[in-house]
Structure 1
């Protein structure tokens, strides 16, 4: 795996480089602001980009939008200290496929990067639940005809609302726990599965529902009432 790091805190970057290389991950480059992240993403085409939000000279969300506009297939995971709902929702709207907090453990970061690479975008515990609530609100707004929902959001939500329940019982169990904000490791502990098996199930869930990203999965979970915590 080749990872591009984008953060203005040099000490943090040094720690991330040491952590990733120790775990066999290649650090393709280190950017210190948004414009540099865009330029390096264009030149290096890394497998995953770890992007901070607030950086001098250009924020990470603007950089995320620019990168996704040029390279729709880019896997960008936000790594930040911000637990602000507005930052979370804007990150997803900007094209980020995951949102992680810097307070997470080193082991969970490695697992999250592995998940991002295999198409199962990562979110820190509790953040998926916030997204679930927001997409449930959008679905309700669309269903009742409330103004303020964009055409793209309405189209996506309506498509999800009409999807048949094609998941197996095990897949529904995995989806419920993930939508409740648990990490793959925590889900595995609850269901006596390995984290890799949980990631496999999430990939199968996305394929079965013909969904492309995590936000759509959470919207489906909201419609099915699968977001309650255990």
Structure 2
């Protein structure tokens, strides 16, 4: 689903996605319309503008995820302001791409988002991680303890690397990486890699 209040841009993005074999199940031009269409169309990925006539992309992101829990939201916005980026991620967006991105970058980002990988325009990932690092508080006494290797894997996951890429960097097998990810998910009581990446950001891991 493509959510943007500029018809030419919205239709152009939808057309580009269709040309690459994606099924565009819906388009919307407002928070209200996106919120109503998401449960019916059940999109796997939502491309979300950050500034809509009746609210922010962050508000729409939260509403879309609430109504269609299986959807992953990728912000596609002209704004790269820190507050916009952080607000979107806190609302549940998987990643954030600026509209100056090339078509090939957009297509790759949509594919990565569908696979559950965090995607950021270069520079924004560092901004998010840096901000959460400054905001991060000391862990609670009863916080689950991760092993050194689990923490190392978590840092790479937060950067959006696949299990194979993490394995290559750490000189271990992809299956071992998946085992560490699974153990970390259980310890932190999280549901998937997106939540895991968000946890890493919130706790200043990079």
TM-score (norm 2): 0.76
> Where does residue 31 of structure 1 map in the other structure?
28
* Residue 87 in structure 1 maps to residue 81 in structure 2: no
Task: Please tell me whether the aligned partners of residues 206 and 217 of structure 1 are also in contact (alpha carbons under 8 angstroms).
Answer: no
Q: What is the alpha-carbon distance in structure 2 between the residues aligned to residue 97 and residue 204 of structure 1? A: 22
> Where does residue 175 of structure 1 map in the other structure?
156
- The structural deviation recorded for 1:10 is 0.9
Task: Please tell me whether the aligned partners of residues 75 and 95 of structure 2 are also in contact (alpha carbons under 8 angstroms).
Answer: yes
- Which consecutive residues of structure 1, in runs of 5 or more, have no partner in the other structure? 144-153, 193-199
* Residue 66 in structure 1 maps to residue 63 in structure 2: yes
Q: What is the alpha-carbon distance in structure 1 between the residues aligned to residue 200 and residue 151 of structure 2? A: 15
- The structural deviation recorded for 1:218 is 3.5
> Where does residue 112 of structure 2 map in the other structure?
115
* Residue 47 in structure 1 maps to residue 22 in structure 2: no
* Secondary structure of 2:118's aligned partner: coil
- The structural deviation recorded for 1:60 is 1.9
Task: Please tell me whether the aligned partners of residues 119 and 203 of structure 1 are also in contact (alpha carbons under 8 angstroms).
Answer: no
> Where does residue 195 of structure 1 map in the other structure?
none
Q: What is the alpha-carbon distance in structure 2 between the residues aligned to residue 67 and residue 26 of structure 1? A: 18
**Measured at CA, do residues 201 and 17 of structure 1 come closer, stay the same or move farther in structure 2, by a change above 3 Å?**
farther
> Where does residue 172 of structure 2 map in the other structure?
none
**Measured at CA, do residues 105 and 129 of structure 1 come closer, stay the same or move farther in structure 2, by a change above 3 Å?**
same
Q: What is the alpha-carbon distance in structure 1 between the residues aligned to residue 156 and residue 20 of structure 2? A: 28
- Which consecutive residues of structure 2, in runs of 5 or more, have no partner in the other structure? 170-174
CA RMSD of aligned residues (A): 3.3
- The structural deviation recorded for 1:44 is 0.6
> Where does residue 146 of structure 2 map in the other structure?
163
**Measured at CA, do residues 23 and 50 of structure 1 come closer, stay the same or move farther in structure 2, by a change above 3 Å?**
same
Q: What is the alpha-carbon distance in structure 2 between the residues aligned to residue 166 and residue 111 of structure 1? A: 29
1:171-208 Cα offsets, whole Å, 9 max, x none, are: 58x929x74xxx87xxx8xx89xxxxxxx999777445
Q: What is the alpha-carbon distance in structure 1 between the residues aligned to residue 24 and residue 91 of structure 2? A: 24
Q: What is the alpha-carbon distance in structure 1 between the residues aligned to residue 78 and residue 88 of structure 2? A: 13
How many corresponding residue pairs? 190
Of 193, 197, 201 in structure 2, the residue corresponding to residue 218 of structure 1 is 201
- The structural deviation recorded for 1:217 is 3.3
